[in-house]
């Protein structure tokens, strides 16, 4: 069974602040709920595009069209 749902990440100032299962047309039609539609970038649950599935706190690299996980420094 294939997954036909669409996933979108809200990117504000380069940072993912929200991830939703929603159709882009619904985002556009409901600005009172989703705000500016141009802030929403499609992400793929199977990691087939944009490097990885977006998570809150990730960075979106517009130039390379990929989501990047935050770097975590390990204390020694």
Q: What is the pTM of this model?
A: 0.86
Strands in 7-12's sheet, in edge-to-edge order, are 40-43, 7-12, 15-21, 59-61, 66-68
Q: What integer pLDDT is reported at residue 3 of this predicted model?
A: 57
CB 64 within 8 A of CB 30: no
Provide block-wise average pLDDT over 10 residues at a time, the chain (76 residues): 78 97 94 96 94 97 96 84
* C-alpha torsion 10→11→16→17, nearest 10: -60
How many other C-beta atoms lie within 10 A of the C-beta of residue 43? 24
Q: How much is the pLDDT for 1?
A: 44
């Amino acid at each position: 069974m294939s997954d036909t749902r669409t996933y979108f990440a809200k990117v504000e100032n380069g940072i993912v602040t929200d991830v939703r299962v929603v159709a882009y047309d619904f985002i556009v039609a409901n600005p009172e709920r989703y705000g500016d539609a141009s802030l929403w970038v499609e992400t793929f649950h199977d990691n087939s595009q944009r490097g990885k599935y977006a998570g809150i706190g990730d960075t979106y690299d517009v130039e390379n069209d990929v989501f990047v996980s935050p770097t975590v420094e390990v204390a020694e």
